[in-house]
Every structure is written in C-alpha cells, then in structure tokens.
Amino acid sequence: MASKPSAAGAAAPPQPLVHPESVSLRVDQLEYLETILLAVAVGVLAALGNLGFRRVIDFFSWIFRGWEWRALGIHYHAWTIMLIPLILLSGGVGMLILNYFFPGDVLGYGFPNFLEMVNLGNARIKRRWIVLKALGAGLSLGAGASVGREGPIAQIGGAIGSAVAQVRRLGVERAKVLVAAGAGAGIATTFNAPMGGLMFAQEIVLMGQTELANLVLMIVATFTAVVTSRTLMGEAGAVFHPVQFHLVSYWELLSYGLLGAVLGVVSAGYIRFFHGLGRRVRSIKQPQWVKLMAGLFLVGVIAIFLPRNLSDGYPAIDQAMQGKIAAEMLLALAVAKFFTSAVSLDCGAPGGVFGPIFFIGAMSGGAFRQFMSLFMPRILGPRGSYSLIGLGAFLGGVTHAPLTALFLLFEMTELNYSVALPAMIAVITALVVARSIESESIDMYTLAREGKTLAIGRERLLLTQLPVSSVMNREVDVLPLNAPLHEVLRAAGETSQATLPVVNSKNELVGLVVTRDLLALLAGGGELGPLVNAFDICRRNPPVVTPESNLDQAAQMMEYEALDELPVVENPHGSLFLGLVARRSIAQAFNRVTVSLSSHEGGDRGIFWATGYRVARLKIPESAAGRTIRQLDPRARFGVSVLAVQDASDPVAGFAPIAPDRALKSGDLIIAAGRPADLRRFERELAGIARNAAVEAE
C-alpha cells in the first residue's frame, strides 16, 4: 500500500513498529545482562581450561608412563615391573621443583582451602592457579599418584571465574557466583554433564546457598561449557561409557538399598581414615619432601601388584561399568585405592578426591553384586549396573552431596530413567548412613575441627563474634515462683515481654512462663484453682544462654525452641538469672553488622555496633608484621574480636574474615569489635610493640 503524500508532496517516512523507548532497559537489567554474558565467557574459558588441563595430563602421562616406562624396560610379566616406584619418585621430583618456585600453591589436597576462600573470604582466587593447579595435578596424575583430576579442574575453573570477576571489578557476592560457575563448568566438561556440574557448584562450592538469579548464571556457565567442549571434542570428551542400565525386577531394589547402606558405612570410614592418616602424617617430624617421596614410593610398591590402581584409574572405572573386571579384582582394587588415595593426598601429592571416590564406589558396587549373587542370583542385574550405582552412592556418602551424585548418574546414562529409582534409593541410603556415623563431609571435616563452618554466610559468621551480653536486657519483669494465678495474669497483660522468667528468693531461674502457653491454657478451659501459682504453670528446665554465648547460638536456640526470648544465666551450670535476650535485639545487631562493615570499607572510622560495643579499623604497624592473631590473642587478653582484614598488598580486595594463623603485614587494616576501653587497650598494645621495637633498635 502506498504511503499517504505529505503537504510538500513527498511520501511520509514509515513509522517504526516498536517505539525506541519501549525496548530500553533499566540500569539493573543492563547489569544483569552483562553478568549473564560474563557467565557465558566463564563457561567458554572453563571449557578451554579443561581441554588444556587434559593435554597437560596426557603430556606428563607420555613422559612418565610412556617414555620413561619404556626406557626402564618395564613389562607386567617381567622382573622390571619392580621399577614402577621409580616412575612415581621421578614425578615427585617434578612436583617438588614446582613447589620450590611456588610454595603453598602446589602440594596437597587444596580443595577445602578453595571452599574456604569462596565462602568465608572475598572469592579472589589466585590467577596463577590456572596454570599451577594444571601443572601440579598433571605431574601427579602423569606419574601415577592415586589422586583425581576433578578437584584441580574445579579450582582452575574457579580461578578463571575469579579472574573474570576481577577484570570487571564485581562485588564479592557476584564474584562468588562466577567462581562457583567456573568450578561447576570445569566439572561439567569433565563428564559432559551440565546438570551435574550445576549441582556441584550449588551443593558443594556454595553449600546450597544461592538465589534463583544466581542459579541462572551457573546454568548458563555449565551449559555453555559443555556445548563448547562438545563442539571442540565431540563424543571424545566423555570419560566414561557405561553400558545400558538394566533393572531385572523391582525386588532388586532391596539389593540396591543394601548396597547404599554398605557404602554409607564405607563412606564414613573413608572420611575418618583419610583425615586420621593426614593428622598422623603431619605429626611426623620430617621435611615435606621426605613425606611426599615416601608416600609415592608406597603407592608405587602397591602398583607392582595392582597397576590398574595407578593415577585416577578412569579406564578401570569404565571397564568396571561395562562388567569387564572379575569380582575378586574389583574388591582388591577398591581396597587398594581406599589406602593409596589417602596416602597420596595426605603426603602432599597434588590432586583431588573425586577420582578415587568414583574408583572405590565403582569397584565396590561390582564386588557387592558378586556377593549378593550368593543369595538372590536370579533377580540381579549385570555387574556393570551395580558399579554405576555404587559410584553414585559412594560419591553421595563421602561428599554429602546427593543431587550432584544423582544428576551425574542420570547424565552418564544419557537420562536413562530406569536408573532413577535404584540410584535414589542407594544414594539417599548411603547419605543417611554416612551422616549418622560422621556428620561432616570429606571437605568439611578438617574445617569443622578448626571451628569453621561454611554453612553460614559472612554476616552470620561475624555475628558469632558478638556475645549475648552486648544486647541482653537486664531490666525485665520476673515472677516469684509462688506468685498466684491472678498475679501471673496481671503481669502477662501489662508486660511487653513474650516470656516471664520465674525466679526464687535467690534470683535463681526455676522456669519460664510463655505468654502464648498461658493463653492456650486459659482458652482450653482447664481447671485453674486459686492454689495454682507461677511454678505450677511454668516450663521447667527452659533453654538458657550465658553472657559469653554468641548471638548466632542464641538465634539458633530460639529457632529450635520456637521462642522469641531466652533467659540469660550466670554460667552453664548455674541458675542465677541475669536478664533476657530477645530475637528483635539479635536482628538489630545483625543489621548493624552489615552496615558497619560496608561503612568501614567506605572509610568510616568507628561505628557503634551494639549496646556497649563498637568496631574500629586499626592499622598494623611495621613492628607487628609477622605476628598472628593467635599470638596476639586479643580475645583472651583484651576481650576484643578481630573480625576481618584488608591486605595491604591488595587494598582493592576489600575486607575478608581473618584466619588465626595468618601472618599480619605492615599496613594491613583490621576490623576489631569490643568495648571502647578494650579496643583502646588493644590499640595501645599494637603501638607498644612498635615502641619496644624502636627501643631495641636504639
């Protein structure tokens, strides 16, 4: 249709179908779109990092178990097989050389430290880890140490995510999500399992704490990584090729439930053995290189009899899931990997624990099937099916991450839904049994025994530093234990408290009258005669806290007991009543934590945090450099809690919670909380160190 001519005789320009303003985006929408593009970049880079890591492993495998193996003339049916320990020792030399130039970044099982950086720190991962973790684990796996590649690739992907976040100068929370997305993308490309990688990032890296919008970013990263990997490598990218899962009968589910229970016990045993051996190794008064070489030599000796135990054993896992390994050999390999993986990692060989977990689970599952054939031979599926389910059950039991295990199984079997029910039964049973024996996962075990937990956010972690005494109310209404009913009702009607403590003549707590309990009692129409008093209707042995208890403990106790207030007593074994701590007071303190930390990062000098408490920013003098918080001991000596530190060499990183054994640097800024007088004493202590150093210098 022709356009209508204008007054000048020219055709009017066509009108746009959509007005430009209708497609404009708000600033927050543009920022989120940018973050999605960053997640895509992280996924692509993580896939490339995984590809490069595989090439590094292949290169060192060719060096040690290819060229050197042939140079030594090692053959499985000749005396030269006794030379296998030399292969591992030569790899150990390479690890020690790398560690010499980059101490602290190469040796050992570093994944718990990575989790601590993400959840308790500022999510800034060292960029050199992208190369160092690949080289260290490549040396370890190439030489044959019984370690896995999954922990290192997760750290490599996390370092890539952190690098992208640092380039764009993202805040801590966004950076944390990109680090988790990178770690999940690395796992996803290893197993061609985008949902498994997503669950790994969500359950293990972020401890299940993330918002829906952040979950979208991790989905984008893991799926982008798998698409990139498949584009570059095709089906060659898959490391496992299990046979078709086959369930003979629903009666067979009983055997899978029993398999889960057995592997739950084995999981708890593995966690305790792994960390128990680690403590023993650390207690040995020998240099690190001696421990590493001794551990690698022992792994090599065992490999003389069981060469399939070398490295991560992926080919052997694949054979087990295809039912190509005899039952007796499956059991021997499971026992060997159980021992040698702990020896390798505890003695300092770089690597992860996922590979050994897969190996032990697959071998144990196949061996279990052979055992069950003695009792119910006609209703059992193939041995490979039990190896597959055993892999997932042991993974769930050791890591306490059932969704990661389930989704990995589903994707490894190309979403074969016949595996769903046996997998869920075995994995959940293994998890329940393992947690009933050992409550901590393999990655949380050491942190838990250091008094650390990743299950709470940074604000709650800082809130644990505030004692109940800072917010407790000492001016409260109480009831004498012999107060008659009418007096109890009058007090309940006049007070704003949710509870009325009942005390005796010595002001000792004997019970707690909860207002809603009193109302429910009256509404129930029960017989309340004139002889009823406060003691008769109060809750006996109520939950209590002490002034030294922290606010997080009080909040958790309120949640468990469904109370809005808790009595505060003099000590855990005494009953002298001191006051009440209320849920609303804790909420106010929680808000002050967030405000004060952000204000300190903005440069404010001192902010009052809670009743009688404040936080201050203190600068570490040069003379105090090298001291640790454990050495200064401000909590015991001054009643001051050091909450966070800003590294003098990296001020852009902001403040992060401080480890007790971190050596302070000259110019570091610390955030300390305490009463004003105590803070001044601690500041004078730091200044006194400087004066003493000056006197000694003169």
Do 124 and 255 lie in a common domain?
no
As a whole number of angstroms, the distance between CA 139 and CA 134 comes to 8
Domain that holds residue 651: 612-697
Residues 575-610 have pLDDT tens digits of 788 888 888 887 777 666 655 555 544 444 444 455
Pair 199, 282 in one domain: no
Whichever domain contains 92, its CATH number is: 1.10.3080.10
Residue 533 placed within a domain: yes
3-state class (DSSP) for residue 641: strand
Residues 223 and 257 in one domain: no
Q: Within this chain, do residues 70 and 203 fall inside the same structural domain, yes or no?
A: yes
How high is the pLDDT of residue 500? 87
Are residues 94 and 214 located together in one domain of the fold? Answer: yes
- The closest alpha carbon to 410, from 428, 397, 398, 423, belongs to 423
Contact 513, 537 (CB under 8 A): yes
Burial label, 649 (beta-carbon count in 10 A; 0-12, 13-18, 19+): exposed
Give, in degrees to the nearest 5, the angle at Cα 272 between 271 and 278: 95
What is the SS3 assignment for 480?
strand
Are the C-beta atoms of residues 512 and 534 closer than 8 Å to each other? no
224 and 263 co-located in one domain: no
pLDDT of residue 229: 87
Answer yes or no: pTM beyond 0.85: no
Burial label, 143 (beta-carbon count in 10 A; 0-12, 13-18, 19+): buried
Write out the two tokens for 485: 């009913």
Residue 601 has a pLDDT of: 47
Where is the domain boundary, 449, 484, 515? 449
* pLDDT at residue 4 in the model: 44
**Can you give the length of the chain in residues?**
698
| Structural domain contains residue 42 | yes
- DSSP secondary structure, 387-444, as one string: HHHHHHHHHHHHH--HHHHHHHHHHHTTS-GGGHHHHHHHHHHHHHHHHHH--S-TTT
Structural domain count, the chain: 4
Q: What is the pLDDT of residue 343?
A: 93
Whichever domain contains 630, its CATH number is 3.30.70.1450
For tokens 């006197």, what's the residue? 695
Distance CA 167, CA 173 (A): 15
Q: Say if 607 falls within a structural domain.
A: no
Tokens of 4: 């209508």
Residues of the chain with pLDDT under 70: 1-29, 120-122, 208-213, 235-239, 415, 447-465, 520-531, 560, 572-574, 590-614, 651-655, 657, 659, 689-698
Which two three-digit tokens encode residue 101?
A: 């130039």
Nearest-angstrom CA–CA distance, 303 and 309? 6
> What's the CA gap between 93 and 349, in Å, rounded?
11
Last-in-domain residue among 211, 237, 263: 237
Residue 72: phi, psi to the nearest 5?
-85, -5
Same domain, 641 and 580: no
Structure tokens at 355: 């590979």
What is the torsional sign of CA 459, 460, 466, 469? Answer: positive
Q: Could you tell me if residue 20 is inside a domain?
A: no
Beta-carbon count within 10 A of 67 CB: 11
The radius of gyration of the chain's CA atoms, rounded to the nearest angstrom, is 31
Do residues 206 and 335 share a domain? no
Same-domain status, 267 and 389: yes
Are 233 and 256 in the same domain?
A: no
Quick one: 230 and 268 in the same domain?
Answer: no
Residue where a domain stops, chosen among 237, 265, 283: 237
Nearest to 252 by CA among 450, 98, 386: 386
**Has residue 691 been placed in a domain?**
yes
Is 462 within a domain? no
Whether residues 335 and 440 share a domain: the answer is yes
- Would residue 461 count as lying in a domain? no
